[in-house]
Amino acid sequence: MIRHISRTAFSLFACLTLTQASSQLYIKTVAGSGYNGTRGDGGPALCAGVPNPTGVCIDPTGNIYIASVNSIRRVDATTGIITTIAGTGANSFTGDGGLAINGSMFSPQGTALGFNGNFYIADVQNQRIRVLTTTLPQPPVISKVAVTINPELPCRGSTVTFEAVVQNAGTGQTYQWYVNDNPVGPNSATFSTADVNDGDLVKCVFSSDQCTGPEEVTSNEVSVVYGSVTAPTVGISSTAAKVCPGETITLTASVQNGSDVSYQWYMNDGAVGDGTSQFTYTPVNSEDRVRCDVSLTGCAGGVISTETVNTGVYVVPVVSITPQEATVPPGTVVQLSANATGDLQSYSWISAEPLSNSTSLNAVTSPVINSHPVIFVGETADGCVVSDTMNIFVFIKMIMPNAFTPNRDGNNDIFRIPPNVKFTLKEFAIFDRWGKKVFATADITRGWTGENAVNGTYVYLITGEIDGQKTTFKGTVVLSR
């Protein structure tokens, strides 16, 4: 039974927690006859059976609400009549979304009256908090979806992107886009199109599986409003699609109807360039993929990518001359042969001394006089020039003079290694009669002038290499002024 404790000027308007106790409190029964069974609905509460009451709450008008044996019962404050307002008495879970009297609970224990007039129940064995309300409950909604538009004020003719932002998404997600209630677009969180008009309404219906079962939620509707500016366009051009090795290509990004433009170039998906509208580079690959991402402000602000263009370098043949080097005595005729790994449209030889067959792959020198290079030059059908160089060294025997007269008359003033001698010099040194070094050089073009030296006989020592072999020349020279 439900009993009532009171003292003078004490009344209950909500769930009671007694925080003050004194000897002037009195007790009485307000509901229940002591019968251990459910009976008495429609009659006086004092005559009814209220078995195992586990929760009680009082509304502002004094009506009493009692949780008892899988049901909620109400005692009218004016008439004292008790009625069941929720629960069938069965210990199960049914009835959500329908009339409370037809629903079932399992061991309701706590009750509370909300400020909004709803009545809340702790349905303990069903592991739920349930609510009694005077309005028809809507199915539970866990997910939320909101649609945004980018850009917010698009240019006419430009692409508009809509994005569905979902909170608390379940599994098995699907997206259905609508324009003016007509289904469009992909099953995706984003929908991009240029086929919308001023005033069109765009929304997204999002579906997923939640713990409560399949759920479908509808987003807000976004109205399309175009700006008054024409949509910007971007283009890309290049000075050439392919160039010869070592040459450069310049690409230019052009923008129409755009403002506050910035540029980011990409080659083979890697960022390149200096942020300007042009990008110049020397290709090393036969094919590169180049584009420019243009960032704009205004009604179609954002990033617009140019088309991707293919640029690169022509593949050219490699040419080589046989032999690469020839060391011969004066008057020798040298046979030359050029080889190419691919086709050449034209070719020729370049030499300081006469050649025979200078427009063929095989050339012959005239009897050589001096050391000099010979160059083979070829040109491909694409206009690329390839070349190779060989060197002819005319060998002159190392014959050093045995005397010199450094009197500054222009004749025989310097003692030096003869020109055109094929020799890698390590050191050219001069010693006096007492073994003192009076001159030294590693430069084969320099010689001894005899400065500050007296007349007499001196020893020279030349060290170095000929054809990779260490060689030493030694002898004497007379200085006479």
Position 298 scores a pLDDT of 63
Cα torsion for 279, 281, 285, 291, to the nearest 10°? Answer: 0
Position 303 scores a pLDDT of 84
Q: How far apart are CA 118 and CA 134, in angstroms?
A: 8
71 HSE (CA, 13 A, CB side): 21
Q: Does residue 183 have a cis bond before it (omega within 30 degrees)?
A: no
- What is the residue-level pLDDT of the chain in tens, covering all 481 positions? 565 544 322 233 334 444 444 568 889 999 999 988 888 999 998 999 999 999 999 999 999 999 998 999 999 999 999 999 999 999 999 998 899 999 999 999 889 988 888 999 999 999 999 999 988 877 778 899 999 998 777 777 778 999 999 999 999 999 999 999 999 999 999 999 989 998 999 999 999 999 888 999 999 999 998 876 677 789 999 999 999 999 999 999 999 877 788 999 999 999 999 999 999 999 999 999 999 999 877 665 678 899 999 999 999 999 999 999 998 888 999 999 999 999 999 999 999 999 999 899 999 999 998 889 999 999 999 999 999 999 998 876 788 999 999 999 999 999 999 887 778 999 999 999 999 999 999 999 999 999 999 999 999 999 998 767 788 899 999 999 8
> For residue 128, what are the contacts with CB-CB under 8 A and spacing of at least 6?
93
Question: pTM here?
Answer: 0.45
Position 8 scores a pLDDT of 27
Q: Judging by DSSP bridges, how do beta strands 385-394 and 325-328 pair with one another?
A: parallel
Q: Residues 223-237: pLDDT tens digits?
A: 998 876 677 789 999
> Angle CA(207)–CA(208)–CA(212) in degrees, nearest 5?
120
Q: Judging by DSSP bridges, how do beta strands 160-167 and 171-179 pair with one another?
A: unpaired
Position 384 scores a pLDDT of 97
Position 9 scores a pLDDT of 27
CB of 344 within 8 A of CB of 379? yes
Position 23 scores a pLDDT of 60
Position 135 scores a pLDDT of 85
Position 6 scores a pLDDT of 40
